[in-house]
């Protein structure tokens, strides 16, 4: 599968331990401790490879070189929200200097175990509504970062889906109802679908075991599928795509990674860019800024990505005007 890109997206402490106890370490050795970032991925390493690379590269540009001037501890929730509090507590025991984590559930889990360690979120659906921050301009507390604004784009995604599926009448929505972000987005999709006169069927999941049975319920009940992403859905995106193709359902999401594994199209914030920008938040905090004083920022790059191979498998023709607007076409 090839990718056509339309636009560039943009201490040495161990040795000291053998010194005689009676000798005091040199001043430079005592100061050799580097700050530590605790990165808690809510999904899996494979789902976040490009995002982490962008974060680490930007940190390097700002003078924070992993393994030299900063240490990074990585932990992964693998789509299981019940693990997040445990991972956050581990960071507290490690006394990391800042926690970087993605998604509302992961940030809440982190805030529940520490009010002292700064938290930076590269992605959060509704920071104010979910109680992560007091306001975008003055977050307060120990968390700040970037809002993904995913729910606000629901109507736009449905318009794009109708351009590809002109006879769209029945829409299925799949969401993890155990997470607040997908629930909010599902409400936005319902509102937009009603405005467009679409019949809507909602299919709820809470765990990986629910995914296959959910697709059984799709049979003959929908012309297209709208996926509300979250760490659970992202972790099992390959399985979901296999089922989507088996059901021959044109599917849209906000996440490019889903299109990369075979889902028809996505439209949403450029997540790689959000992670890159999150590094600037980390830099400010490591240099002494308080997270509660750093305003939450919003996306500036929004990408349309289309999987042309999937379109052909589904027997769909992508309008040339839509192809021209795509940042990336996968074939």
Instruction: Please give the average per-residue pLDDT across 277-306, as a whole number.
Output: 96
More confident residue, 99 or 16: 99
Asked if residue 319 and residue 174 are part of one domain, the reply reads: yes
Residue % of the chain over a pLDDT of 90: 69
pTM of the model: 0.80
Asked if residue 14 and residue 142 are part of one domain, the reply reads: yes
Which among 26, 49, 31, 29 is positioned nearest to 39, based on CA atoms? 49
Check if the beta carbon of residue 328 is closer than 8 Å to that of residue 287.
Answer: no
Q: How many Å apart are CA 251 and CA 227, to the nearest integer?
A: 7
Per mean pLDDT, which range of 4-13, 99-108, 153-162, 237-246 is the poorest? 4-13
Asked if residue 27 and residue 131 are part of one domain, the reply reads: yes
Q: How many Å apart are CA 182 and CA 161, to the nearest integer?
A: 19
Instruction: Please give the average per-residue pLDDT across 22-26, as a whole number.
Output: 39
Q: How many Å apart are CA 209 and CA 313, to the nearest integer?
A: 27
Q: What pLDDT digit, counting tens, does each position of 170-194 carry?
A: 999 999 988 777 888 899 999 999 9
Asked if residue 10 and residue 29 are part of one domain, the reply reads: yes
Per mean pLDDT, which range of 19-23, 199-203, 243-247 is the poorest? 19-23
CATH number of the domain that 137 lies in? 3.40.50.2300
Give the SS3 label for residue 259. Answer: helix
pLDDT at 253 over 80: yes
Q: Angle 57-111-138 (CA atoms, 0-180°, nearest 5)?
A: 75
Q: What pLDDT digit, counting tens, does each position of 157-173 carry?
A: 999 999 999 899 999 99
Asked if residue 192 and residue 218 are part of one domain, the reply reads: yes
Asked if residue 48 and residue 100 are part of one domain, the reply reads: yes
Instruction: Please give the average per-residue pLDDT across 80-94, as a whole number.
Output: 94
**What Rg, from alpha-carbon coordinates, does the chain have?**
22
Asked if residue 15 and residue 162 are part of one domain, the reply reads: no
Instruction: Please give the average per-residue pLDDT across 13-30, as a whole number.
Output: 38
192: Cα within 13 Å, side-chain hemisphere: 21
**Pairing state between β 265-269 and 71-76:** unpaired
Give me the chain's average pLDDT, please: 88
Asked if residue 317 and residue 169 are part of one domain, the reply reads: yes
Asked if residue 204 and residue 156 are part of one domain, the reply reads: yes
pLDDT at 53 over 60: yes
Domain total for the chain? 2
pLDDT at 20: 35
pLDDT at 150: 57
Asked if residue 290 and residue 312 are part of one domain, the reply reads: no
pLDDT at 238: 92
Q: How many Å apart are CA 128 and CA 175, to the nearest integer?
A: 21
pLDDT at 11 over 80: no
H helix or E strand, kind and range, residue 6: none
Check if the beta carbon of residue 323 is closer than 8 Å to that of residue 305.
Answer: no
Asked if residue 265 and residue 178 are part of one domain, the reply reads: yes
Helix axes 49-61, 271-286, angle to 10 degrees: 40
More confident residue, 310 or 221: 310
pLDDT at 10: 37
pLDDT at 301 over 80: yes
Asked if residue 12 and residue 143 are part of one domain, the reply reads: yes
- Domain extent, residue 214, equals 151-269+303-330
């Amino acid at each position: 599968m090839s990718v056509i890109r339309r636009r560039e997206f943009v201490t040495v402490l161990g040795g000291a331990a053998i010194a005689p106890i009676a000798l005091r370490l040199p001043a430079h050795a005592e100061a050799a401790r580097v700050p530590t970032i605790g990165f808690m991925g809510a999904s899996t390493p494979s789902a976040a490879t490009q995002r982490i690379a962008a974060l680490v590269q930007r940190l390097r540009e700002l003078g924070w070189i992993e393994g030299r001037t900063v240490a990074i501890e990585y932990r992964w929730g693998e789509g299981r929200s019940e693990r997040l509090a445990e991972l956050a507590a581990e960071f507290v025991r490690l006394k990391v200097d800042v926690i970087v984590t993605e998604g509302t559930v992961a940030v809440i889990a982190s805030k529940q175990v520490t009010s002292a360690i700064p938290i930076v979120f590269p992605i959060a659906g509704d920071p104010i509504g979910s109680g992560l921050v007091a306001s975008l301009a003055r977050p307060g507390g120990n968390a700040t970062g970037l809002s993904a604004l995913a729910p606000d784009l629901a109507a736009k995604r449905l318009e794009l889906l109708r351009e590809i599926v002109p006879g769209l009448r029945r829409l299925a929505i799949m969401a993890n109802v155990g997470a607040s972000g997908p629930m909010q987005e599902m409400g936005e999709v319902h509102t937009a679908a009603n405005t467009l006169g679409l019949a809507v069927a909602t299919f709820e999941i809470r765990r990986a075991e629910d995914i296959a049975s959910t697709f059984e319920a799709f049979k003959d009940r929908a012309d297209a599928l709208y996926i509300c992403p979250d760490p659970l859905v992202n972790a099992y995106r390959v399985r979901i795509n296999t089922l989507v193709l088996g059901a021959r359902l044109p599917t849209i999401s906000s996440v490019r990674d889903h299109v990369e594994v075979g889902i028809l199209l996505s439209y949403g914030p450029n997540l790689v860019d959000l992670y890159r920008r999150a590094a600037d938040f980390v830099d400010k905090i490591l240099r002494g800024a308080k997270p509660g004083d750093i305003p939450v920022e919003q996306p500036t790059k929004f990408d349309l990505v289309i999987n042309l191979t999937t379109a052909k498998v589904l027997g769909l023709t992508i309008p040339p005007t839509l192809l021209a607007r795509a940042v990336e076409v996968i074939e």
